[in-house]
Structure 1
Amino acid sequence: MKQVKILMLALVVLMGVGFTSCMNGENDTTVREDAFVKVVSYMGSTWFEDTNGFRYYPTDASLAAMKTQMGFEPVNGGMAYVIYQYDSATQTKTATSTSLKDLQLLYATKLDATVESVQHKPEEGEEPLSNDSIAKAPIRGLEGTISTSYGNITYKPIMFDESTLLLQIDYFMGPEGLLSHYFTLVHYRDESVDENTIKLYLRHNNGKDTSTSYTSVNYLNQYPFVFYKAFNLRKLDGSINENTKIIIEVQENNTNIDLESEQTKTKTYTVQIKAKE
Structure 2
Amino acid sequence: MKQVKFFLVALMAVVMGMSVTSCMNGEENNTVQGSLFVKVSPYDFPPSFVDAAGGKWIPTNATVDASKSMALISFQYDRTTVEPNATSINVTLVKDPYYFDKSHVTPTEPEVGNAPMYTLEPESYYGTIRGGFWNKDILILPLAYWYKKYNNTTEKEKYEAEMNAHSFRMYCDVATDFKDGVLTLTLVHDVNGGEEDVKRTDKNMDYKAFDISSVLSGIDGKTVNSVKVKVMENQSSDSYTDASEKLYNIEYKFAK
Q: TM-score, normalised by structure 2?
A: 0.70
Q: How is 1:238-257 mapped onto 2 (pairs within 5 angstroms)?
A: 238-239=218-219, 243-257=224-238
Moved more, 265-274 or 246-255: 265-274
CA contact (8 A) 1:199 1:246 kept: yes
Cα-to-partner distance string for 1:52-103 (whole Å, 9 max, x where unaligned): 65430245x943xx54xxxx514xxx432235565x4983699x87641265
| Alpha-carbon distance between aligned partners in 2 of 1:17 and 1:106, rounded to the nearest angstrom | 17
Looking at both structures, which has the greater relative contact order when contacts are Cα pairs under 8 Å and sequence separation is at least 6? 2
Query: Runs of 5+ in structure 1 lacking a partner?
Result: 24-28, 122-131, 218-226
| Alpha-carbon distance between aligned partners in 2 of 1:114 and 1:134, rounded to the nearest angstrom | 18
Moved over 6 A (4+): 29-32
DSSP-derived class of the 1:8 partner: helix
The aligned residue for residue 206 of structure 1 is: 191
| Alpha-carbon distance between aligned partners in 2 of 1:93 and 1:13, rounded to the nearest angstrom | 25
Amino acid corresponding to residue 14 of structure 2 in structure 1: L
DSSP-derived class of the 2:254 partner: coil
DSSP-derived class of the 2:13 partner: helix
Amino acid corresponding to residue 169 of structure 1 in structure 2: L
| Alpha-carbon distance between aligned partners in 2 of 1:192 and 1:83, rounded to the nearest angstrom | 37
Q: How is 1:127-276 mapped onto 2 (pairs within 5 angstroms)?
A: 133-147=111-125, 152-175=126-149, 176=159, 177-191=162-176, 193-209=178-194, 210-217=198-205, 227-236=206-215, 237-239=217-219, 243-261=224-242, 264-275=243-254
Amino acid corresponding to residue 124 of structure 2 in structure 1: I
Moved more, 177-186 or 98-107: 98-107
Amino acid corresponding to residue 203 of structure 2 in structure 1: T
Amino acid corresponding to residue 162 of structure 1 in structure 2: K
What is the Cα deviation at residue 144 of structure 1?
3.8
Measured at CA, do residues 21 and 101 of structure 1 come closer, stay the same or move farther in structure 2, by a change above 3 Å? Answer: closer
Moved more, 204-213 or 102-111: 102-111
DSSP-derived class of the 1:260 partner: coil
The aligned residue for residue 67 of structure 2 is: 73
| Alpha-carbon distance between aligned partners in 2 of 1:255 and 1:7, rounded to the nearest angstrom | 26
Query: Runs of 5+ in structure 2 lacking a partner?
Result: 150-158
| Alpha-carbon distance between aligned partners in 2 of 1:89 and 1:273, rounded to the nearest angstrom | 32
Cα-to-partner distance string for 1:23-72 (whole Å, 9 max, x where unaligned): 9xxxxx9987543112345675643233465430245x943xx54xxxx5
CA contact (8 A) 2:117 2:189 kept: yes
What is the Cα deviation at residue 108 of structure 1?
5.0
Measured at CA, do residues 186 and 92 of structure 1 come closer, stay the same or move farther in structure 2, by a change above 3 Å? Answer: same
How many residue pairs get aligned? The number is 230
CA contact (8 A) 2:19 2:36 kept: no
What is the Cα deviation at residue 160 of structure 1?
1.4
CA contact (8 A) 1:56 1:103 kept: no
The aligned residue for residue 100 of structure 1 is: 89
